[in-house]
Amino acid sequence: MNLRDRYDAATAGIEAPFAVVDLAAFRANAAGLARRAAGKPIRVASKSVRCRALLEDVLALDGFAGIMAFTLPEALWLAREGVSDDILVAYPTADRTAVAELAADPAAARAITLMTDSPEHLDLIEDAAGGRPIRVCVDIDASYRPLGGRVRIGALRSPLRTPAQVAAFAERVLKRPSLHLAGLMAYESQIAGVGDVPPGRPARSRAIRAMQRRSRIELARRRAAIVKAVRALTDLEFVNGGGTGSVETTAAERAVTEIAAGSGLYQPHLFDQYSNFSGRPAALFALPVVRRPAPGVATCLGGGYLASGPGDAVRLPQPFLPAGLAYHRDEGAGEVQTPLLGRAADLLSVGDRVWFRHTKAGELCERFDALHLIDDDRIARTVPTYRGEGRTFL
């Protein structure tokens, strides 16, 4: 049975639109991430999963430990639900109410670590926590800055870049008795989040690989120096780095103690553009064909599930099964309808399904309240997404 027939058979009793996760692909992707990490624990990026049941499943696998959350309210919820007792909030928070709630809950305060990169963060945390103990981590700028810093490649994150800057900030944290400096984090988005084999663009591919090679060398040296400088001041529980696209290279750095990853579990189509690994599409959504307006055209209901990031065609979900479908250039993926063109359209009838892959990982779960988990040719169980549990954190 081919993949499309298997998915159609497993979900025959469910009315589209709906979303699924192929458990065999999910487990294979998890095993691949763990293998690439070569023994270093992987902290699961929850924003790339956004389903409590699947977070619990992956944390039960060898090679995975702890969660990287994207908001403090999310971290509080996951801690209280018992999903993990080791949660790093990956982005700074200005949510005073949530910080006060964290400080008032000793168990949560032991489990959750907040991200900081400025004195303003420290002031806000101390004020909102009322002097009660809070764990913090320092975020480090991991971007690549060639040509004497005149060019920046990578995400605009922390202002802390050099060993001296990070050590000076660490000293400021250590002078505040209510704050415990637990770790350091540096996310190299220009390596972990940028595929080096963009389709049909060989020159760009060569340029990306050259940039990433130089960036890896520069960051490994700088990160090692930063960790050494901070460890001279205090013990660190963890040094976090990397992402799905850079698991093996980040894990090879002695200074790094754990890797962050999550998107590779679902393998959205944006992550097909890497030469160092390949995953299996695990998270999919199905739309029903509701009209046939012309030969070579099949129109699906809904489908305008665009991904975040720069406004380009890559943000569109990808028609996956049956193969050979493409968007109409004037409509794309629409709010209420999505016309699809190609020879395969003539093989589709009203009521048939088209299977899509989202561009990014967990954002798909903001569109659906449940994930139907396919095991072989059946639905093993249906689990709620964050949205299905009434949790929308952003």
Give residue 138's pLDDT: 98
Residues 6+ away with beta carbon under 8 Å from 181: 136, 137, 138, 170, 173, 174, 230, 234, 236
Closest by Cα among 298, 336, 349 to 319:
298
Beta-sheet pairing, 64-69 with 42-45: parallel
Closest by Cα among 214, 259, 215 to 241:
259
pLDDT in tens, 250-305: 999 999 999 999 999 999 999 999 999 999 999 999 999 999 999 999 999 999 99
pLDDT over 90 (residue 51): yes
CB–CB of 59/44 below 8 Å? yes
Q: What token pair was written down for 312?
A: 């380009």
CB–CB of 75/52 below 8 Å? no
Cβ neighbours of 198 (radius 10 Å): 14
CA 287 to chain centre: 24
Is the torsion defined by CA of 250, 90, 273, 65 positive or negative? positive
pLDDT in tens, 218-251: 999 999 999 999 999 999 999 999 999 999 999 9
Cβ neighbours of 231 (radius 10 Å): 15
| Percent of the chain residues past pLDDT 90, beyond the cut | 96
Phi-psi domain of 369 (left: phi exceeds 0; alpha: psi -120 through 50; beta: other):
alpha
pLDDT over 90 (residue 200): no
Alpha helices in the chain, H assignment, sequence order: 3-10, 23-37, 52-59, 72-80, 96-103, 106-111, 119-129, 163-174, 189-192, 202-231, 247-251, 263-266
Q: What token pair was written down for 97?
A: 């109410």
CB–CB of 215/193 below 8 Å? no
pLDDT over 80 (residue 1): no
Closest by Cα among 142, 130, 140, 139 to 105:
130
Give residue 43's pLDDT: 98
Closest by Cα among 125, 66, 116, 84 to 259:
66
Give the Å distances, CA to CA, from 240 to 44, 67, 74, 182, 255: 11, 11, 20, 11, 9
Q: How far is the C-alpha of 263 from the C-alpha of 291, rounded, in Å?
A: 34
Give residue 394's pLDDT: 83
| 351 backbone dihedrals φ, ψ, rounded to 5° | 100, -20
End-to-end CA distance of the chain: 40
Give residue 366's pLDDT: 96
CB–CB of 360/334 below 8 Å? no
| Percent of the chain residues past pLDDT 70, beyond the cut | 100
pLDDT in tens, 86-112: 999 999 999 999 999 999 999 999 999
Q: How far is the C-alpha of 30 from the C-alpha of 62, rounded, in Å?
A: 9
Q: What token pair was written down for 382?
A: 């249906």
For residues 135-164, give the mean pLDDT: 95
What pTM, to 2 d.p., does this model score? 0.95
